[in-house]
Amino acid sequence: MKNAVKALREKKNMTQTELAESSGVSLRTVQRIEAGNIPKGFTLKAIARTLETEPENLILASEESPNVDRAKLINLASLIGLIIPYGGVIFPLILTYKTRDPLNKELGKKIVSIQIILAGIVSVLMITSPFIQKALSLEIPLFLVFLIAFISIKLFVVIRNGIGLNKNKDLYIQLKTSFL
């Protein structure tokens, strides 16, 4: 979706410089807003007045459809953890910290937080499984049960969060607080 400020400016056949001069804000501010920053306070009112619209229209149109493609990639990258130990944490973490968009960065941190907890739990279970198996005198290899459960839970979390990102532009399964 095109940025609301840019769309209205182009509709009025104005350049970024003309909008900056007419509204009394700097050219750099206009460029930042058109790049995705949401205007606030004086800047919001000045640009809305110059573009002959209500300030709410600029904010609502800008926030209407956030782009979460990078968050989707981060979510999918966590599946690497099924092949490479701790890859479900390392690769999404790298993608998150290379992300410039604040929304995708925040979603990435939430995704990595979940993956850290899953990796920690599976690590503890895999280390303790032989001891638990011996203590309970089980014939079945307990680590396989834990491994299958981990793969199932990881797939469920990634698929469910992918659906949430597609439909609501937010994660369905997330922690209340992110520790990143």
What are the structure tokens assigned to 101, written together?
Answer: 């968009």
Q: Tell me the pLDDT of the chain averaged across its residues.
A: 89
Q: Are 79 and 141 found together in one domain? A: yes
Question: For residue 44, what is the domain's CATH number?
Answer: 1.10.260.40
Q: Are 73 and 159 found together in one domain? A: yes
Task: Please count the other Cβ atoms lying within 10 Å of the Cβ belonging to residue 103.
Answer: 17
Confidence grade of residue 38 (pLDDT, cut at 50, 70, 90): confident
Q: Are 31 and 77 found together in one domain? A: no
Q: Are 16 and 92 found together in one domain? A: no
Compute the distance between CA of residue 149 and CA of residue 153 in angstroms, rounded to an integer.
Answer: 6
Domain final residue, candidates 36, 63, 90: 63
Q: Are 152 and 76 found together in one domain? A: yes
Q: Are 132 and 43 found together in one domain? A: no
Range of the domain at 102: 69-168
Q: What's the gap between Cα 158 and its chain centre?
A: 13
Say what the pTM is. 0.65
Q: Could you tell me if residue 130 is inside a domain? A: yes
Residues 81-125: tens digit of each pLDDT: 999 989 999 999 999 999 988 889 999 999 999 999 999 999 999
Please, what is the Cα angle at 61 between 171 and 68, to 5 degrees?
25
Q: Are 108 and 48 found together in one domain? A: no
Domain final residue, candidates 63, 82, 98: 63
Q: Are 120 and 56 found together in one domain? A: no
Compute the distance between CA of residue 164 and CA of residue 54 in angstroms, rounded to an integer.
Answer: 31
Q: Are 35 and 90 found together in one domain? A: no
Sequence-distant (≥ 6) Cβ neighbours of residue 34 within 8 angstroms: 3, 5, 6, 9, 16
Q: Are 101 and 120 found together in one domain? A: yes
Count of domains observed in the chain: 2
Q: Are 128 and 146 found together in one domain? A: yes
Q: What's the gap between Cα 141 and its chain centre?
A: 38
Residues 52-64: tens digit of each pLDDT: 988 888 775 544 4
Encoded amino acid at 170, one letter: D
Sequence-distant (≥ 6) Cβ neighbours of residue 42 within 8 angstroms: none
Q: Are 92 and 163 found together in one domain? A: yes
